[in-house]
Amino acid sequence: MTEQSDLLGRARAWIGRPATAPVTARDPVNQPMIRRWAEAMGDANPLWHDPDVRAAAGFAGAVAPPAMLEVWTMAPYRAGGRTEDEDMAVLRLFDEAGYRGVVATNIEQEYLRYLVEGDIIHARAIVSDISDEKRTGLGIGHFVTIDYEFTDQADELVGRMKFRILKFKPPLEQSKAAAPAGDAGANAFPHPRPAITHDNAFFWEGLKQRKLLIQSFDGRLVHPPVPACPETGSLEWTTVEASGKGVIHSFVVMHQPQLPCFQYPLPVVLVELEEGVRIVANMIDTAPEDVAIGRAVTLDFVEVEPDYILPAFRLA
């Protein structure tokens, strides 16, 4: 079992269980809070503040905008954030696993009646769904859905709410190119760098250790790194260290365009490793005319800039 599947299993164990302890509103439905909320939201409906309009609609006292359904049971503001009792344990699981980003994605509310002055509102929150891992513009993450039921002082249902958030891992910090050293490097051109993601970080970390790591989905090897197995969709994978032996499957010799950080002509090869996967890399210490399909090659590592290592091949 991978760390990711273990997290998902522990999180999904919360489905059907209370997300928090039941909450009772600290204040009954009241006119001052209704007025302040309506002013803040720019809701000028006279039903919320005009006694004559309320009376004409059949209400003896203050009536709350339906969208205030959740407001009455919200946790109080605290400079240090919510207390542990007010927090959701299922969300802490994701925080501890590195999914520290959070954004609300959608709220659906259902109103069964107007809340009126004097109502005491109670809220119960149940974890209803935890999604598989998703790739989003914010980063990889899981959608967590919480279902709320709101009742009054007579324990009668007055409304429901479905609240969905995304718990995500913020994008990884990208390494920066080394700055040119002194006047001698004034015209130096930095070497192109890859985008490091949660899916391929293991590959680049392996190169720093002079290891060529290949993704393995239950023995099915895949390269370049992918979020899920292209055949089964599985998210569970391990890595296999390549032996570094292979043969040239195809190649090109680059002449143009020329970047200052490379030497031309530049042989670029597609190597079929003995493990069965293929990888693109540059040839080193090899004349272009000596590169040929079917020739045996062996893996090497080139530190093109401090702490930035790339795989390369030389003739065996």
Half-sphere exposure of 185 (CA within 13 A, CB side): 9
Count of the separate structural domains present in the chain = 2
Q: List, in sequence order, the alpha helices (H) in 233-274.
A: none
Q: Is residue 213 part of a domain?
A: yes
Q: List, in sequence order, the alpha helices (H) in 124-234.
A: 201-208
Task: Place 185 in a pLDDT band, splitting at 50, 70 and 90.
Answer: very low
Q: Which residue has the higher pLDDT, 180 or 255?
A: 255
Tell me the pLDDT tens digit for each residue of 62-103: 999 999 999 999 988 877 777 777 789 999 999 999 898 888
pLDDT at 108 (0 to 100): 94
User: Do 123 and 36 fall within a single domain?
Assistant: yes
Q: Which residue, among 14, 109, 20, has the nearest Cα to 71 in the 3D structure?
A: 109
Q: Which residues contact 105 (CB under 8 A, 6 or more apart)?
A: 143, 164, 165, 166
Q: Is residue 290 part of a domain?
A: yes
User: Do 146 and 269 fall within a single domain?
Assistant: no
Sheet holding 220-222, edge to edge: 220-222, 213-217, 238-241
User: Do 160 and 13 fall within a single domain?
Assistant: yes
User: Do 15 and 146 fall within a single domain?
Assistant: yes
| Of 39-43, 132-136, 178-182, 187-191, highest mean pLDDT | 39-43
pLDDT at 61 (0 to 100): 93
Q: Is residue 112 part of a domain?
A: yes
Q: Is residue 189 part of a domain?
A: no
User: Do 155 and 20 fall within a single domain?
Assistant: yes
pLDDT at 190 (0 to 100): 75
Q: Which residues contact 73 (CB under 8 A, 6 or more apart)?
A: 23, 24, 25, 121, 122, 123, 150
Q: Is residue 187 part of a domain?
A: no
Could you tell me how far CA 205 lies from the centroid of its own chain? 20
At which of 153, 168, 183 does a domain end? Answer: 168
User: Do 235 and 131 fall within a single domain?
Assistant: no
Task: Provide the domain limits for residue 237.
Answer: 194-315
User: Do 102 and 246 fall within a single domain?
Assistant: no
Q: Is residue 75 part of a domain?
A: yes
pLDDT at 11 (0 to 100): 95
User: Do 216 and 74 fall within a single domain?
Assistant: no
Mean pLDDT of 218-247: 91
Rounded CA-CA distance 263/243 in Å is 27
pLDDT at 91 (0 to 100): 93
Q: Is the pLDDT of residue 282 over 80?
A: yes
pLDDT at 307 (0 to 100): 84
CATH number of the domain within which 221 lies: 2.40.50.840
User: Do 309 and 263 fall within a single domain?
Assistant: yes
Q: Is residue 133 part of a domain?
A: yes
Q: Which residue has the higher pLDDT, 260 or 266?
A: 266
